Every structure is written in C-alpha cells, then in structure tokens.
Structure 1
Amino acid sequence: MYPQPTLVLVPGSFATTDMYEPLVAPLRAKGHTIHVLEPPCYPASYKTSSGKPPPSMYDDAKFINTFVVELIEEGKEVVVLAHSYGGIPASESLKGVTKKEREQLGKKGGVVRIAYLAAIVPRIGQSLGGFTDGNDTLPVEVGEDGWMFQPDSAATARVCFNNLSPETGAAAAAKFGKHYSACFGDKLTHNGYKDIPVSWLLCEEDLCVIPEMQQTSIVAIEESWVGTEREGRKVDITRASCDHIPIVDEGKRKEVSQWVEKILKMGGQE
C-alpha cells in the first residue's frame, strides 16, 4: 500500500507539459509523484506527425490508459487529474483500470479518483464539440492539415488568462502549440467517472469553459450514478476565483496546489 496515490495529469488542449511545471515542481519537491502527459492530439505530436495518420481523441484515451496500466500493474493507486479538453479522453481512458474493476479481478492497484480542473466532461454519446456548441469564445483557426492553432495571442489571453495583465496573458498564450481538430468531434463511449469518487475545481471566473458548462458536467456525472452503488453521492466540488488556466499567476496557482494536495490526501476515500 502506498501512502498517497500517484498523480497523472492530462493537460488542456494546446498545452505542453512544461506549462504545468510551475504547479507540479513544488509538489514533487514535497515528495508527491506526478506525471504530466502529452497524448497524440497535443502539440508535441504535431512536431513529429509528418507521414502519420491523424490522431483522434480515442488515441489520446488509449495513450492515457496505457500509461496508467504501467503504474497500476506495479500495484500503485492513481489519481487522474484532467484539465479542460483533457476531461473527455481522461474519462474515456478509465475502462478496466479503476480500483473497483481491478479488485473484481483480484488485482491490486487502480485509479481511485478522477479530478477535473475547469474541464469538459460530456455524457455517453456526446462530443466535446457538441458540448460546447454555441460557446465560440476562443479565437481558433484550423489549418489545411487539420491542426488547430490560435492566431491572436491577445484575444486568446482575454479568454484563457483573464486574471492576468494583457501583456502577461498574451505572453502565456503565445506559448500554446497546435492541437488536432478532429478529436473535438469524437464522442464519449465510456464514462469512466461512473465507478469512482470525483473531485472538481470549479473556476468561477473562467471565460473559456464557463461555470455553467462546468456545472452541467457535474450534473452529468452525478446522474450517471443513479441506479448504481454510488447513487446519492456528490461530486467533491472546490470553488476558486480564477480563470481557465490558473497556474501562471502565483496566487491562483497556490489555490490549485492546495487542491491537488487535498485530492491526493483523499485518494479513494469519499
């Protein structure tokens, strides 16, 4: 038995792993084990995607699942933390890897909790694109190769980094990479959140995934528990006065850090 679970962080779209370093580096220094993933639809894959078939959200989910399997086969307990777009492939990825499913097979280890940070979490049969239809606030364009990019850093900053000064926000947005567009149309086929405790950091000043959209996801999760052994449970919600990416500003990042330590301490406990 491990004292605390391992954290697997699934970033938001356009984000590279180094964007999360200001958050995870101090937590690692405290002794927490944290892995920040960069699945196939993310910027790193664009740099090496020449000649390869286009990736999908399902490729992202398989990537996450494969990584988690390596950890739980060692008997480790895992908390998956998904940011923004990461909410859908993270949810999709949990088939066969939750602690509940592992225990039924007489195996140790497993995912004991999934946590969402300003995320998008659809219902079965729903895609990210369908979920966000009508909320076209983010200035995104799609290249001929199908990869999305954000041509106006200042405009992106006004949506994603609205807690920062315009100059600081634009500098942060300029670091975004490309993200493959087709994954936004891939529908959820497995709602992995149905089997385990769920935590949510609800960003109340988010202009990208607005609070009402986050609340819709929370309702979908709790409704998935109706008729199961989890019926009557509630998503563990922490509210924070922050924007969509509260890891650049030191004060906001502190709130996220405290929340991460909280969910790791909770592990699989309700």
Structure 2
Amino acid sequence: MAYLTIVFCHGAWHNVHFFDKVIAILEPLGYRCVTVPLPSASGRVPPTTSLDEDIAPIRSAVLKELDAGHDVLINAHSWGGIPASTALEGLTKPERLADGKTTGVIKMTYVAAFVLPEDMSLQDFVGGPQPTWIVDDDGNLIHKGDPRDIFYHDVDPKEADEWTAKLKSQSLASFTTKTTSAAWKKIPAEYLVCENDRAVPAVFQDIMIGKMKEAGADVSTTRLSTAHSPYLNKPDAVADFLKTSFAKSSQ
C-alpha cells in the first residue's frame, strides 16, 4: 500500500478521541492516522478569536505528513469540515508536484460535515445565531438541549452519557469567522451522508453536496442509516468508507 496518512478533524464541542474506534480498525491495516485537537472546541478561556487558530494546527499536521513522504486524506466530521476545507491552500497533489514535491492532499472525506464556499461562516450558512447556541460568561458557546438526543440518539446509552460528560464549550468566533478557501473545489471529495442525523439533518447535507456539485466539485456520496456519530456506533462502516475513498484515489 502507498504511504498514506489520514488526518482526522473533529467537530464542535468534541475532541480527538471521538475517532478512536475507527483508528483502531485502520491502523492494524497499515493506515497512518493523525488527529488534530482544535483549540476552539477545548473550552479554553479566553476562547479563540478566529477560525485561524483551528486552521493553523490542521495545516501544520498536514504539512508534517507531506514532508515525511505521505500523501494525505482528510477526514472531517461535522463542524470540522469548515476549518479542514480552509486549511489546505496550495497543498493539493497537482500543486505540490508542480512545485517539485512528491506528496499532496489527495482526497477530502466528509462525514455529516459542513462544507462551505469561500467567504461564508457557519452562522451565515444557518441564517444567523441559532436558539440552541447559548453564550456563557466566558464568551464560549454551550449547546442548549440534551446532547444525547442531538448527537447520540442511536449510540449505546452508557456511551452517550460518557460522551455527553466529555463535551467542552465551543468558541463563538469559530462559528462567525468567514472561510477564505474551499479545498473541495480542487481536491476530489467523498461525502458520507448520515440519514438519521438530528444535528446536521440529511436534507442540509444534501443541500451542501448539491452546492458542491454546482461549483464544479468532484464529489461522490455514500449514505448510511445512522445519526450524527457513526464513529461511535458504526465504526466499521466509517472505516470501510475511508478505505474505499482511498482506493478510489489510488486508481
């Protein structure tokens, strides 16, 4: 198998351990897996002040793998699709080859992820501040409502409780900063639609995929009967999606 690194970018309020089950399947098969902790989702006080503070660690992680001789496949979940798609300017395989390099980002993979064009924030996309976004005294966002019902309604109840306890507050600025790039316009993409998602309903996922196609993106879709967190309750299906996505990019 060609040298490959899968770089995982998590969603809002979550952390890198969200991907543990999928990584445990992929690594024994020879896939190198790297996770990127995103500062906006850490509950940090003071919170991050722009999307740049999430873009920087993603770009740094990708460049480290490229410089080590590995092509990169990006996997972004939920809100993580926004900084991941904005962090890759100039890192596509054709651009890197033209610059005398041998590696590049070969595929974008999205799982129930937000995929936005340039000059748009998540707040812009959803039509303004949402009633479920509550800003705490530190300037971070907490999510109104029960995360078990929004994120984990088809996850084992005990595991759903464990993940609910792990959630951190999210920087408001990460939802209001506009994107500056859209890597999916240059890099082939695969999108896993989570059909029973209550956090990012499938209808919105389909709208984003439609907009990608209208913009000329090379994007394919796979559909899975799951809610927002298939990494927890259907890790084999997510691993298969990623393996298939890599196989297509190698043809």
State the TM-score, normalized to the length of structure 2: 0.91
Q: Does 1:241 align with 2:225?
A: yes
- The separation in 1 between residues aligned to 2:141 and 2:175, in whole angstroms, is 11
Q: In the alignment, which residue of structure 1 is the partner of 2:4?
A: 5
Q: Name the counterpart of 1:60.
A: 54
Match among 198, 201, 221 for residue 207 of structure 1: 198
Shift of 1:247: 2.1
Query: Aligned match of 2:242 in 245, 260, 263?
Result: 260
Matching of residue 218 in structure 1 with residue 209 in structure 2: yes
Letter in structure 2 aligned against 1:148:
L
Q: Is 1:27 equivalent to 2:26 in the alignment?
A: yes
Q: Are the structure 2 counterparts of residues 255 and 135 from structure 1 closer, same or farther at C-alpha, using a change threshold of 3 Å? A: farther
Q: Per-residue displacement from partner, 1:62-99 (whole Å, max 9, x unpaired)?
A: 22112111111223210011110011101100101111
Tell me how far apart the structure 2 counterparts of residues 87 and 239 of structure 1 sit (CA, whole Å).
17
Inter-partner Cα distance in structure 1 for 2:75 and 2:250: 13
Q: In the alignment, which residue of structure 1 is the partner of 2:75?
A: 81
How far is 1:114 from its partner? 0.6
After superposition, residues 94-113 of structure 1 pair within 5 angstroms as 94-113=88-107
Matches within 5 A, 1:109-120: 109-120=103-114
Q: Does 1:149 align with 2:142?
A: yes
Amino acid at match of 1:199: E
Match of 1:176 in 2: 167
Q: Which moved more, 1:214-223 or 1:188-197?
A: 214-223
Q: Secondary structure at the match of 1:174?
A: helix
Counterpart of 2:246, as a letter, is L
- For 1:218 and 1:194, the matched residues in 2 are separated by 12
The CA RMSD over aligned residues, in Å, is: 2.2
**Aligned length, in residue pairs:** 251
Distance 1:56 1:243, change over 3 A: same
Instruction: Pick which of 201-210 and 18-27 moved more.
Output: 18-27
What is the TM-score of this pair, normalised by structure 1? 0.85
Percent identical pairs in the alignment equals 28
Deviation at 1:132, TM superposition (A): 2.0
Please report how far the alpha carbon of residue 222 of structure 1 lies from its aligned counterpart in structure 2 after TM superposition.
1.8
How much does 1:145 deviate?
1.6
Per-residue Cα deviation, 1:193-252 (whole angstroms, up to 9, x for no partner): 111110010000001111111112112222222xxxx6xx4x111100001111222xx2
Q: Helix, strand or coil: the match of 2:214?
A: helix
